[in-house]
Amino acid sequence: MAAYVLPAGLTWVVLGAAANFMQMVPSSSTVLVSVCLIYMASFGLIEAMGLPIRAPTLRGGVPASWIRSRGWLARTLIWGAMLGPGVITVNPYASIWVIVIVLLVAGSGGFAIWIGAGIGLAHGAGRAIGIMHQSANCSDPFPVMASQIRWKQLDGIALLIAFGTLSSSLLAEAM
């Protein structure tokens, strides 16, 4: 589990630090919140309805040459470092990019760094738990990764709930 959680935590702390630094530059959080709302509504509907439109993602995966002919520990560390953070390799879920936008509007004073650390630890642990759960009857968890079930509809529903929550919060604040 540490092979996924530690790299994820570190990656998201760095993203949080970058977001914290960006707060020092004059910018409009209204634009970011608007982008976030549009993104959540669009990809929430796309994923919940099962439409064949892919969310933005990176194309790269873990190169086979990095894990071929390596021991279990080396493969675990490589997979954990690449998959744990969720933003370095392909991530089929649209919600991962909303989290990046949330970091950008999180505020300054180091708050974004703490949010980043929490996101990284939670995401890394979630990926590790999912892999361990799927591979409980398998002596080697890596082939299971190729056949992992994509929970896109639940991700879409979560995006729509987040959209509704943020929208109603903004409307209540405006009144």
pLDDT tens, 127-162?
A: 777 777 666 666 665 554 544 445 778 888 888 988
Instruction: For residues 14 and 20, give the distance between their C-alpha atoms in angstroms, rounded to a whole number.
Output: 10
Residue that the structure tokens 């630094």 belong to: 21
Burial class (CB within 10 angstroms; exposed 0-12, middle 13-18, buried 19+) of 133: exposed
Q: Where are the domains of the chain?
A: 2-174
User: What contacts 43, CB < 8 A, 6 or more positions away?
Assistant: 55, 94, 95, 156, 159
End-to-end CA distance of the chain: 46
pLDDT tens, 5-48?
A: 888 888 878 877 877 776 655 555 677 788 888 989 999 999 88
Q: Is the pTM of this model over 0.75?
A: no
